[in-house]
Chains A and B, each alone.
Chain A
Amino acid sequence: MQVTLKIFRFNPEKDRKFHYETYTLEAEPTERVLDLLERVKGYHDGTFTFRRSCAHGVCGSDAMRINGRNRLACKTLVQDVGERITIEPLLGLRVIKDLVVDMEPFFENYRKVLPYFINESPLPEDGRERLQSPEERARFDDTTKCILCAACTTSCPSFWASDDYLGPAALVAAHRFIFDSRDEAAAQRLQIVAETSGLARCHTVFNCTMACPREIQITKAIGELKMATITGKLD
């Protein structure tokens, strides 16, 4: 089939303003949108710039807007989006070049929630693992899937309105540790996410949940965090 790609272009060294370029190419319906972007770069215009690595939805490099929706280009097939495809960078982050956006504010928010395991208690005397039941492990399974692609955060109107909002991805990271039975810093993290730049900015729009290529129930996780800040319990 013939596919027409309309792609957002911006070269900071040449352009004062972004524009769109259109490319028409032959494609199989089962090809990834990323495969098409590679061919555009390889054969049509070498200057076209985007990030990518694993090409199967686990590294989080190629989040972008595809027909207006945040998706991973490597996890979107041509047949899912049709023969006219518009490709644009994520919203809410500064465009560096074409589809490449400045990820620093995103990672800065991530780092704010103490996104690492904290347990200062002595290790088991036999040196082996800390015990955790399968039920305790299942409690936070969903939020361990996050690949930090930013599709959720950059789909959130609250984040567009002000980038000091932690955003869904950082809240997902907080959830992953807060609900881990082995972790001891839940209270500290709950305090961080309860501040004005945190949970209060979530208005349950569900954009994040819709955008997540890992199908994490993000709005649900944020709801659990809200409940925990109110009740002080981690049920």
Chain B
Amino acid sequence: MKVHQFDVVVVGAGGAGLMAGLYASRSAKTAVISKLYPTRSHTGAAQGGIGAALGNMEEDRVEWHTYDTVKGSDYLGDQDAIAFMCEQAPEIVYELEHMGLPFNRTPEGRIAQRPFGGHTNNETGKPVRRACYAADRTGHMILQTLYQQCVKNNVTFFDEFQVIDLILSNGAAAGVVALELATGELHVFHAKAVVFATGGYGRVWEITTNAYANTGDGIAIALRRGIPAEDMEFFQFHPTGIYRMGILITEGVRGEGGVLINDKGERFMDRYAPHVKDLASRDVVSRAMYLEMREGRGIGGKRYLYLDVRPETVNKYAAIDGRTNPDGTPYTVTAEQILAKLPDIIDFCRTYLGVDPVTQPMPVQPTAHYAMGGIPTNIYGEVVIDEKNTVMPGMYAAGECACVSVHGANRLGTNSLLDIVVFGKQAGIRAAEFANGADFQPLPDDALDYTRSQLDGLRHGSGKENAFTIATELKTVMFDHVGVFRTEEGMSQALEKIRELKERFKDVRVSDTGKVFNTELLNAWEVSNLLDIAEVTTACALNRKESRGAHAHEDYPKRDDENWLKHTLVWQRDGKLEIGYKPVTITRFQPKERVY
């Protein structure tokens, strides 16, 4: 065992972790620990853009961004936090540009912006160009730029170290335990402040945009150490994943004028969202697609629809919608422009489908994408552990693993990249400030015990069960019953199945007994996280007897503000789940019916 001491330890090296690491390291001795090489993080898969009311293409206002986000959240987002994020947005996008991020440019040389779902001019109700983009690889550019800045500033990294446990001492964060993949050795990182930036958990579902690495590790670790999770029932299904594979096709395709088409050749979104149509919020579009498929209007009766961005289709519907360029001329596109703005999407479709989006429509289906819920925090990234928002000293979280809550029941596209940089920065600054005014908590003598017992369990099970099989069964049941539409019956069945799988998981034994790069051990441990996260998600979803945002409960199809305008908190206590609530912060915008 090795022991390290740092003022601040950041876990995770995607956008939030790198931003936290970059800021914390300016004034405190900081380490960034990541299970992957930082540039492998899933931030790099984000495509379409980062939201900020720069107004580079047309009039836009921070207040409109704020209102759109509140509305997108189906009024479950905390309005003080949302206002803070949207106010910070222009400044932080400029900061990224100053770090060298290669945004696309307008003819005037300014950062180019494109329309995205749910982002509107609040006066006309029409889509507004707010997503600042770098082709269709904005996340890649953010990840690369932040990593480059970390190299420039000599940030200390521990690459390919899997954090297994959080060390608490006197009710405060005291460090983490990590497994070094290359050697199998356990390391204790003793720290004054810990920042979790561990990302999401889309791998709970069968069809997902998420990377293999997105197994909810940070949230699962926090739950095991008594920290609650917030709003776990809200998980976003992105409308356009590549059929059967789930690979993300950016909403930017619809931003550039692409439309969804059913088996009858109808552009059906005008029936579900008459004002913004294909650029409605993701929850609305995913539900519309399910309803179309349920009515037998999937392509060939199957479980997919077409996303059509062929220039003739784009131009036809742009004319019908009366869409114009910033200078007022009618909006039209050519095949070359589509190629230039969406090169990666075209590459994905050619590679995985043998389809060329410039001449053929793309087969798509909703795909598990993004966790609105997570470790509860305030706007400073401080982890809050109860109904009264009591801060746990020294503990921070940011990015997808955290729930501030700025996304409420449904996140708007482009707000996740914004979230990671805004709150990653806050968490980094605050963690360093805290560390500079605090002493180390004493390390408990048994700091390694819980890690060892978890790993030993996986090494010494009866061997009757296979972790890979258990994970596969879990993903199927979650996709079938805790997906876009949910019923009491389906979710109850799912919960029963998850608990059966958790029992069976005790009989898993990994066959690799080695120390060097034991990814079998690691993957099995990740499955334990998926099981815990799935259980919490399903229990919270069963508990919420209304429909709001991404949680579409068919037995309770209406939003119920009287009883359910509140955040869910869930604790794992002695193997049982306890559910509590805390109020939503409402400032300027009173809840009203959500129409797109």
The closest CB in chain A to the CB of B471 belongs to A42
Q: Which of B300-308, B485-493, B515-523, B543-551 contacts A (4 or more CB under 8 A)?
A: B515-523
Contact residues of B between 167 and 182, Cβ < 8 Å to A: 182
CB-based contact B100/A42 at 8 Å: no
Closest B residue to A35 by CB, please name it: B245
Flag A33-65 by CB within 8 Å of B: 1 or 0 each: 000000001110111011111111111110000
Chain B residues, Cβ within 8 Å of A32: 352
Alpha-carbon distance between A130 and B91 when the two chains are bound, in angstroms: 13
Given A59-B211, A134-B105, A49 and B44 touching (CB < 8 A)? no
Q: Which of chain B's residues has its CB closest to A76's CB?
A: B351
**Residue pair B111, A129 in contact (C-beta under 8 Å):** yes
Chain A residue nearest to B153 (CB atoms) is A116
> Which listed segment binds A: B141-149, B265-273, B388-396, B529-537?
B141-149
Is the pair A57, B514 in contact by a Cβ cutoff of 8 Å?
A: no
- Measured between C-beta atoms, what is the minimum distance from B173 to chain A in Å? 27
Contact flags B340-358 to A (C-beta < 8 A → 1, else 0):
0000100110011000000
Interface presence of B466 (CB below 8 A): yes
On whether A11 and B94 interact (CB within 8 A), knowing A56-B247, A77-B352, A96-B182, the answer reads no
Cα separation A77 to B523 with both chains bound (whole Å)? 24
Closest beta carbon of chain B to A179's beta carbon, Å: 11
Task: Say yes or no for A206: interface residue by CB 8 A criterion.
Answer: no
Q: Are A147 and B212 in contact (CB under 8 A)?
A: no
A8 interfacial by beta-carbon distance below 8 Å: no
B517 cross-chain contacts in A, Cβ below 8 A: 49, 96-98, 100
The smallest C-beta distance from B208 to any residue of chain A, in angstroms, reads 10
- Say yes or no: is A180 at the interface (Cβ < 8 Å to chain B): yes
A60 touches B151 (CB 8 A): no
Interface positions, chain A 97-140, Cβ under 8 Å from B, are 97-98, 100, 103, 107, 111, 114-119, 123, 127-134, 136-137, 140
Query: In the complex, how many angstroms separate the beta carbon of B275 from the nearest chain A beta carbon?
Result: 31
Q: Across the interface, which residues of B come within 8 angstroms of A147, CB to CB? A: 39, 44, 140
Of B105, B106, B523, which is in contact with the most chain A CB atoms at under 10 Å from its CB? B105
Using known A-B contacts A59-B39, A59-B40, determine if residue A46 contacts B97 with beta carbons closer than 8 Å.
Answer: no
Contact B516 A129 (CB under 8 A): no
Size class of the contact patch on chain B: 35 or more
User: Does B109 lie within 8 Å of A133, measured CB to CB?
Assistant: yes
Contact indicator B97/A129 (Cβ below 8 Å): yes
How many angstroms between the C-alpha atoms of A42 and B371 in the bound complex? 26
Q: Is the CB of A53 within 8 A of B100?
A: no
| Interface contact A129-B466, CB-CB below 8 Å | no
- The answer for the CA separation of A158 and B140 in the assembled complex, in Å, is 29
A83 within 8 A of B: no
Q: Known contacts A53-B40, A54-B40; is A183 also within 8 Å of B211 by CB?
A: no
Restricting to B95-116, which residues have a CB under 8 Å from any CB of A?
A: 97-100, 102-111
Q: Are B468 and A43 in contact (CB under 8 A)?
A: yes
Asked whether, in the complex, the Cβ of A46 is within 8 Å of the Cβ of B510, the reply is yes
* Pairwise interchain contact B466-A47, C-beta atoms closer than 8 A: no
**Chain A residues proximal to chain B, CB less than 8 Å:** 11-14, 30, 32, 41-43, 45-47, 49-61, 75, 77, 96-98, 100, 103, 107, 111, 114-119, 123, 127-134, 136-137, 140-141, 144-148, 177, 180, 182-183, 215
Pull 6 A–B residue pairs with CB atoms less than 8 Å apart, ordered by A: A54-B211, A55-B247, A100-B517, A111-B151, A119-B98, A128-B110
